[in-house]
Amino acid sequence: MDIKKLQTLVVDALEDVKGQDIVLFDTTNLTSLFDRIAVVSGTSNRQTKALAASVRDKVKAAGGDVVGMEGEDTGEWVLVDLGDMIVHIMQPAIRQYYRLEEIWGEKPVKLGAAKRKSSVEAQEADAAPKTKSKHLAATQEQPEVKPVRERKPAAKKAEGTTVAKKPAAKKIPTGATVKVAVPKAAAADAAAAKAAKAATTKRLAKAAAPAADAAPAKKVIRRAVKKVAE
């Protein structure tokens, strides 16, 4: 049996019995005895035995060979030898103690690749129409959403009261001269400057003009007295 088909059968058989922490490793570069090794955990002796029986029955049903099985009497560690592949079914404590992943885990195989179908089956699966669940909102067609314009509600009038309407703004004709009111602060500054200027002018004029009350200056006329010659 092809190794890819064999590993797919093993993983499916382990998942059917709810095997936990399934890992698969490629051991072709580590040993010539087998090409694959699988490790899985079972929570009880009963589950480990059921996992081993599921692998054995599924491989035999597909025409594969089962070389042997060991550890079924205790159920703590059951080994299924499939020739090209070895399956280790262990309880969590036993698995943690022996740590087979550290010995054989150099080249892990992804479970998706292990379960990949053949190319013909994959093409048929892709060509088949996929059904959409009616219970999921994501699969249902969503109606086109249109933007909604919200309008502010008009203020309600109280009973017996009237709401004063704002006067309409006057339209100013084109080319008309509009007088703009001067701010109070600017008007006060202009008045103060004007008063200061008037006071200064008055003071300068008063200093330049002669005093009105001042008495006229007296002129002294000196007459020359000629000395008569004796």
Per-residue model confidence (pLDDT) at position 117: 45
Query: What is residue 138's DSSP assignment?
Result: G
Percent of the chain with pLDDT over 90: 43
**Burial level of 89, CB count in 10 A (0-12/13-18/19+)?**
buried
Query: What fold characterizes domain 3-114?
Result: Beta Polymerase; domain 2 (3.30.460)
Q: How far apart are CA 128 and CA 124, in angstroms?
A: 6
Q: How far apart are CA 17 and CA 54, in angstroms?
A: 7
Per-residue model confidence (pLDDT) at position 202: 74
Per-residue model confidence (pLDDT) at position 161: 57
Is pLDDT above 50 for 119? no
Q: Which two tokens stand for residue 167?
A: 């006067």
Residue carrying the six token digits 């010659």: 229
Per-residue model confidence (pLDDT) at position 110: 85
Q: How confident is the model at residue 69 (pLDDT cuts 50, 70, 90)?
A: very high
Kindly report which listed range (44-48, 107-111, 122-126, 188-192) carries the lowest average pLDDT score.
122-126
Is pLDDT above 70 for 95? yes
More confident residue, 142 or 132: 142
Q: How confident is the model at residue 78 (pLDDT cuts 50, 70, 90)?
A: very high
How far is CA 151 from each of CA 47, 90, 118, rounded to the nearest angstrom? 66, 69, 61
